[in-house]
Structure 1
């Protein structure tokens, strides 16, 4: 073990995360060696001439290259985030952003004001159901919606997503004379989807049998069918959809678990395969460039939003049926205004730098009410706030923060 620390070496990632003094030795600092931790240091400051530094709660900073290392100007540092600690306590560098950290995939079942059983107001329930239909129509007319990113399936369009899109387009163009035919087509598509995935539907085996991209495609497809059939008003369609409501909940959990498993394994540290069959080149990996990090965020955030949309849809339906629903716990997602709609890596980073809110835990709405404005968060985040806290509370937030 080397006694002297190299000049200008940053603290290791483990000590930085724990906010402990680092001896900065290689190959392992004293604290990591004593605690038998994996000791990793931030990557050296190389091109591009600035480093993207992410905190656990989703805040991002742009750190300038040391003087003399480059004659180009760094990007400015963004404002502080809600609940964020000092920016000097950074977690990791560009190649390890917060949304690719295994800890960011933990579900909080213990903290926050939301009880184990939740209920929604009638107005919020009706509003959310209408909003789901608006989002589905937006997908078929504009190619994206608040839980399906415009770039997500641009490289590879899975069969499940193709079937869901065609079925949804047919549903939106149905007439009274063709309504029964369209619903029968959707019923057949759902049965085929569930039957073909039966082998991967049990326990941990179901998680490892598919990669996160396959989990995401089948879960989004089943969610789309579920929204159509649960809230169409047709008795048979609703009855058939109820048979698979547990399947959607299972697939959503497996989707979430598959992402966490992929990130906790060492496989995502391998070089990025540019011939990937996944929805974006990097999936849950980044090579440290801004473009790669943005693509990884798109995939990560798509998983987070699909999981939330699936669990909220189930909760809303169960509340309509029995008056309450179990709380699925809190997850962190990116709700900052402009992030989801950004059409380029540069635009995405600009919003990340300028936003007052980026990373949000969905059970911490009270904190968001007190510290931010409606305009600081995007449409998806606003919808989660409305369905969770009611239209009246949301409208007070809108008027209080003008």
Structure 2
């Protein structure tokens, strides 16, 4: 028998024989050295049932979606460090009844988390083509790795209900701090919860992403010189937008999904920096580009979904022996690279709609329409896997937790531990459920992850 490792320090500190403060997700030493910080995997016993008291007000029986516009009566400003503060807080935690238009089953506010009563409800018939948690789906050998390529995995679900409750100021403040933290993490480590570590690792980072990377550095370095940052923002964003090929042109048709995601992530970073800044001119210009971001995000989604369908066809052809068939020498590596691209696409799509919805709500724009909801891989180990082999091993042995982003209640219902769920999703759940509900989930799971930024 192999002895289970009791190592709790990160690999980098162990290798350098230095003390590790074990801060999650990145220890202080790794953050200071700007190196990758990875901890040993922690095994969790599945099937743990949370106490009924911890599930009360959290889990329910129906999937639901939410409008990307999160309503609140707040205005935002920043201090000299660039952190966000909320003014004129006027939260309303009233609850209401939500009704599924197809099943006609009513959920009362007493059965919902404190901030979930404004969530629209998905028709219960929405489901994936296969049962991903079933062990009989392992043949042919790579089918279980293709969960993100299924046609149903690219279905955008729409169902809108008017919002009825507002997340309080501390929840929105924590959300914006988390976004700022993710941008800084990209600057220090080259990746974050919506930009995969291997998305740009096999090639030179696109120039538009290099400019976005530079913008993060500049804003954190010379935050007091707002007029300089305003000029740099206007120049970089202006170049990014004006240099794009015209939609419908031959040049535009040649854009790959990687081209689409690079320009969309670059614009998203620029807008996240500007929308939550203290500069009125920068915020005003960024507001005018929200529609462009949504348009690019939709084009990215369309390109990725078409590519995924083509990828599945090629995989099917390559599995048949015969002359003229396409040969894929390393199907696991190929699927892993596709996962990195498409999962980054999903997270970019969600964050673009979610973050701009939060901002517009903070500004008092209550009329944002529902953008729908999409599936995302919530299992943290799959996003954090360091190699194709490790990713494949996890995907074959565990449920990928591939769910609609606003269907997180199903994870609680299945007693999934908070630490098993990706940081990206846990952070969104703080808006949907409230910080206290997510903290209860973490504590009852016996985990040590943090949702406080």
Name the TM-score, length of structure 2 as normaliser. 0.61
Give the alignment partner of residue 327 of structure 1, picking from 357, 370, 387. Answer: 370
Cα 1:137–1:266 shift into 2, 3 Å: closer
Question: In 1, distance between residues paired with 2:356 and 2:165?
Answer: 12
Give the alignment partner of residue 393 of structure 1, picking from 437, 441, 452. Answer: 437
Question: In 1, distance between residues paired with 2:404 and 2:437?
Answer: 18
Question: In 1, distance between residues paired with 2:279 and 2:438?
Answer: 32
Match of 1:105 in 2: 154
Give the alignment partner of residue 303 of structure 2, picking from 235, 254, 258. Answer: 258
| Kept after mapping to 1: 8 A contact 2:226/2:279 | no
Question: In 2, distance between residues paired with 1:224 and 1:253?
Answer: 17
Shift of 1:351: 3.2
Does residue 241 of structure 2 align to residue 194 of structure 1?
A: yes
Residue by residue over 1:12-62, the C-alpha shift from the partner in whole angstroms, topping out at 9 and shown as x without a partner, is xxxxxxxxxxxxxxxxxxxxxxxxxxxxxxxxxxxxxxxxxxx85683xxx
Secondary structure of the structure 2 residue equivalent to 1:88: helix
Does residue 285 of structure 2 align to residue 237 of structure 1?
A: no
Question: In 2, distance between residues paired with 1:119 and 1:321?
Answer: 16
Match of 2:161 in 1: 115
Q: Which has the higher contact order (CA 8 A, sep 6+)?
A: 2
| Kept after mapping to 1: 8 A contact 2:149/2:309 | no
Cα 1:116–1:263 shift into 2, 3 Å: farther
Name the TM-score, length of structure 1 as normaliser. 0.68
Shift of 1:263: 3.0
Cα 1:384–1:244 shift into 2, 3 Å: same
Secondary structure of the structure 1 residue equivalent to 2:191: coil
Structure 2: 5+ residue runs without aligned partners?
Answer: 1-127, 318-326, 447-453
| Kept after mapping to 2: 8 A contact 1:116/1:326 | no
Question: In 2, distance between residues paired with 1:265 and 1:129?
Answer: 37
| Kept after mapping to 2: 8 A contact 1:144/1:150 | yes
Question: In 2, distance between residues paired with 1:319 and 1:118?
Answer: 13
Shift of 1:169: 1.4
Question: In 2, distance between residues paired with 1:115 and 1:368?
Answer: 23
Question: In 2, distance between residues paired with 1:108 and 1:152?
Answer: 27
Match of 1:14 in 2: none
Match of 1:296 in 2: 338
Secondary structure of the structure 2 residue equivalent to 1:139: helix
Cα 1:309–1:92 shift into 2, 3 Å: farther
Cα 1:58–1:155 shift into 2, 3 Å: farther
Match of 1:314 in 2: 356
Cα 1:246–1:357 shift into 2, 3 Å: same
| Kept after mapping to 2: 8 A contact 1:329/1:363 | no
Shift of 1:216: 0.3
Question: In 2, distance between residues paired with 1:255 and 1:132?
Answer: 21
Cα 1:119–1:398 shift into 2, 3 Å: same
Structure 1: 5+ residue runs without aligned partners?
Answer: 1-54, 60-80, 273-284
Secondary structure of the structure 2 residue equivalent to 1:221: helix
Shift of 1:266: 7.7
Matches within 5 A, 1:86-97: 86-88=134-136, 94=142, 97=146
Match of 2:381 in 1: 338
For this pair of structures, how many residues does the alignment match?
305
Give the alignment partner of residue 138 of structure 1, picking from 169, 179, 185. Answer: 185
Does residue 314 of structure 2 align to residue 269 of structure 1?
A: yes
Cα 1:362–1:195 shift into 2, 3 Å: same
Q: Structure 1 stretch 235-244 or stretch 337-346: which is displaced more?
A: 337-346
Secondary structure of the structure 1 residue equivalent to 2:135: coil
Cα 1:262–1:394 shift into 2, 3 Å: same
Question: In 2, distance between residues paired with 1:126 and 1:58?
Answer: 38
Question: In 2, distance between residues paired with 1:294 and 1:226?
Answer: 30
For the aligned residues, what is the CA RMSD? 3.1
Does residue 363 of structure 2 align to residue 363 of structure 1?
A: no
| Kept after mapping to 1: 8 A contact 2:155/2:374 | yes
Secondary structure of the structure 1 residue equivalent to 2:371: coil
| Kept after mapping to 2: 8 A contact 1:120/1:319 | no
Question: In 1, distance between residues paired with 2:294 and 2:251?
Answer: 13
